[in-house]
Amino acid sequence: MNRKKLQFLLEVSILGAISFVLDKIGFSMPQGGSVTLSMLPIIIMAFRWGIAGGMLTGFVSGILQLVMGGYVFNMIQAALDYFVAYALVGIAAVTLNWLLTSKAQGHKGSMILAIVVGTIIGGLFRYAIHFIGGIVFFASYAPKDQPVWLYSLIYNGSYMIPAIILSAFVAAFLFTTAPKLLERT
């Protein structure tokens, strides 16, 4: 196995595990979900290794969360809430070229914008999966006078929006104060 491949696999494993640990630290919602920095390691991998690195790290984090006590209603819900939702955070890397170009040109403001936009995109993909899962699998939790889609939008948004903002802020701080994090040495 070559050095780059080994480095990639080690980083996926370590940051996937850190994501799992960070998911346990934060404000938890009564029916699942929490405001945490669990997306941050996935975002770091996305900006270091691209979409594949971010998605694989999210997938590893989702596996760990499921195996270590995830809530399973059925296998489709488990796959959506854990594997798909966390893997899709890796799509944050869609702004990687923008970020690297901004870094090369020394434009810190543009770097911050690329990081924030990428993080929001990856976070919104995760939010969308939880939103769909909430409609399909957790409709019984919605109040009688509230449409299920609105309940899922509000409930999942109550923890996803703050988690996205928190992750974007911390990721922007990390990459702009330590831009060497973007380098795969």
| pLDDT tens column, 114-129 | 999 999 999 999 999 9
What the block records as the tokens of 23 is 């998911």
Percent of the chain past pLDDT 70, that is, above it, reads: 99
Shortest CA distance to 21 belongs to which of 42, 43, 37, 4? 37
Using the Cα atoms of residue 174, residue 177, residue 179 and residue 184 in order, give the sign of their dihedral.
Answer: negative
Helix residue spans in 138-182 (DSSP H): 148-177
> What average pLDDT is seen over the chain?
94
Shortest CA distance to 133 belongs to which of 81, 74, 98? 81
Compute the average pLDDT of residues 18-44. Answer: 89
- The 8-class DSSP code of residue 9 comes to H
* CA distance to 36, 73, 178, per residue, from 25 (Å): 6, 24, 24
CATH of domain 3-182: 1.10.1760.20
- Residue found by looking up tokens 């996935």 in the block: 42
Compute the average pLDDT of residues 21-38. Answer: 84
Spatial CB neighbours of 89, under 8 Å, sequence gap ≥ 6: 39, 42, 43, 46, 54, 55, 58, 122, 123, 125, 126
Spatial CB neighbours of 64, under 8 Å, sequence gap ≥ 6: 16, 17, 19, 20
Residue 30: strand, helix, or coil: coil
Given a cut of 90, whether residue 107 has pLDDT beyond it is yes
**What is the distance between the alpha carbons of residues 58 and 20, in angstroms, rounded to a whole number?**
9
Give the per-residue pLDDT at 22. 96
Given a cut of 90, whether residue 27 has pLDDT beyond it is no
Given a cut of 90, whether residue 165 has pLDDT beyond it is yes
Residue 184 confidence class, pLDDT cut points 50, 70, 90? confident
pLDDT, tens digit (0-9, with 9 covering 90-100), for 33-86: 789 999 999 999 999 999 999 999 999 999 999 999 888 888 999 999 999 999
Give the per-residue pLDDT at 157. 96
**What is the distance between the alpha carbons of residues 148 and 87, in angstroms, rounded to a whole number?**
25
Give the per-residue pLDDT at 72. 85
Residue 31 confidence class, pLDDT cut points 50, 70, 90? low
Shortest CA distance to 50 belongs to which of 94, 3, 2, 7? 94
Give the per-residue pLDDT at 81. 93
> Where do the structural domains in the chain lie, given as residue ranges?
3-182
Given a cut of 80, whether residue 140 has pLDDT beyond it is yes
**What is the distance between the alpha carbons of residues 152 and 42, in angstroms, rounded to a whole number?**
24
